[in-house]
Chain A
């Protein structure tokens, strides 16, 4: 079995698990959001890797060309991920705004300290 055939997918899974690990193991809310961003980017890389066709060009139709049967990469995952990136940054911004409000209300962004304060008000 050729390593190059699924190397992209393996990297995606390892990146994804790095994001998941940060999300579970770290208590700092900003670090958690960074973990989510890494998780999210790994999904982007997964989709874009699936769209790639060997020997193909970017999905913009060549108009002035003699060649017929030009191969194009799959445009559909590109569309999905293009919008997902901008939606992702908006939702990240919303999460960061929540973190700022939590900091103002509790004086900390560490998860265990916040839970302590909730338990013993």
Chain B
């Protein structure tokens, strides 16, 4: 029975994507992107990729539609109507798709264990990594220990993309000064009492769950990327309901920029510590006497760095986009 559920979800994904192709109302398309994210997160759960599903749930359902919506507020809701039908694009897409599907005929059947992708280095991780690192969650140990260089590089990409957004968009709202405790202007959502009360109850739980995902990531599904995305989406919810200025009293722009760099430095610094102790970059064995303790400590530090940077960058990007949205609505 379980083997049919993922096929049904894939069919829904196809339907959603065709609807996105056909529609011209960008607002509905963004809502459909949320549905698309939910469907792919459910698909990832069925494929045993629980860590990926957590990330996709936070990023694909919350953050991506939020950013798209705030862009729409600045650029307009409707797509212009086409003059002619783009037959050439259709031919290119159908032809390429046919070639790709022809290529999949040579793929090993879905779900088989002895494919090249599953035999090579993956079986080493599955058989050896628990003994070597003492961490049950293989995704965490591969992410932060075996492939630590990759993850550091990806964290740099996230940081740079965040810096690029900051350079392109100016922040339209000044951070309120601490000394001046004047009454802030109410946000547009402030009259929705149900939203206010429900989100007041939910936001602490979301943030707590983010911290749990961060620090329990070695033993269960979780880790820095997921926790950062969950934490940032909780704060984004707070900003939507209670206003951007209220949020910036807690997390000012300067602090977020500082923390985005701190996370990256924490990651890189862990590597530099091992260089200074005479080992290779990101070799955790210098951190403690027992090898598994050292791996635990190293992975904890590195994941913490990832979590801090991801949460700060996503929150910064959201604030910059949202400040442009309020400018338009005024």
| Bound: A49/B36 CA distance, A | 17
Pair B68/A96 contact, Cβ less than 8 Å:
yes
> Quick check: A11 and B14 within 8 Å, CB to CB?
yes
Binary CB contact string for chain A from 80 to 121 against chain B (1 if under 8 A, 0 otherwise): 011111111111111011111101000001100100000000
Q: Which of A48, A53, A96, A101 contacts B44 (CB 8 A)?
A: A48
Q: Is the interface of B mostly helix, strand, loop or mixed?
A: helix
Q: Total contacts A to B, CB within 8 angstroms?
A: 278
A49 partner residues in chain B, CB cutoff 8 A:
47, 110
Whether the pair B139, A101 counts as a contact (CB closer than 8 A) is no
Verify B29–A34 contact, CB threshold 8 A. yes
Residue B288 CB within 8 A of the other chain: no
A31 to B113, CA, bound (A): 39
Q: A7-B110, A34-B33, A97-B168 are in contact. Are A82 and B55 (CB under 8 A)?
A: yes
User: Which B residues are CB-close (under 8 A) to A93?
Assistant: 67, 161-162, 165, 317, 321
A96 to B317, CA, bound (A): 11
For residue B278, CB closer than 8 A to chain A, the reply is no
Interface string of A29-44 (1 = CB under 8 A from B): 1110110011001001
| Inter-chain contact A52/B48, CB cutoff 8 Å | yes
Distance of B235 from chain A, by nearest CB (Å): 15
26 examples of A-B residue contacts, CB within 8 angstroms = A7-B7, A15-B13, A15-B17, A18-B20, A21-B21, A25-B82, A27-B82, A28-B79, A29-B75, A38-B17, A49-B47, A59-B138, A75-B139, A75-B142, A76-B121, A76-B122, A76-B125, A77-B49, A79-B142, A81-B49, A83-B154, A86-B55, A90-B162, A91-B157, A93-B162, A94-B168
How extensive is the interface on chain A, given as a class? 35 or more
B10 interface contact, C-beta 8 A = yes
1/0 contact string of A43-75 vs chain B (CB within 8 Å): 011001111111011111111000000011111
Q: Contact between B126 and A75 (Cβ–Cβ < 8 Å)?
A: yes
A99–B228 Cα distance when bound, in Å, is 26
Please report the C-alpha to C-alpha distance between residue A58 and residue B53 in the assembled complex, in whole angstroms: 12
Of A16, A29, A78, A89, which contacts B49 at CB under 8 A?
A78
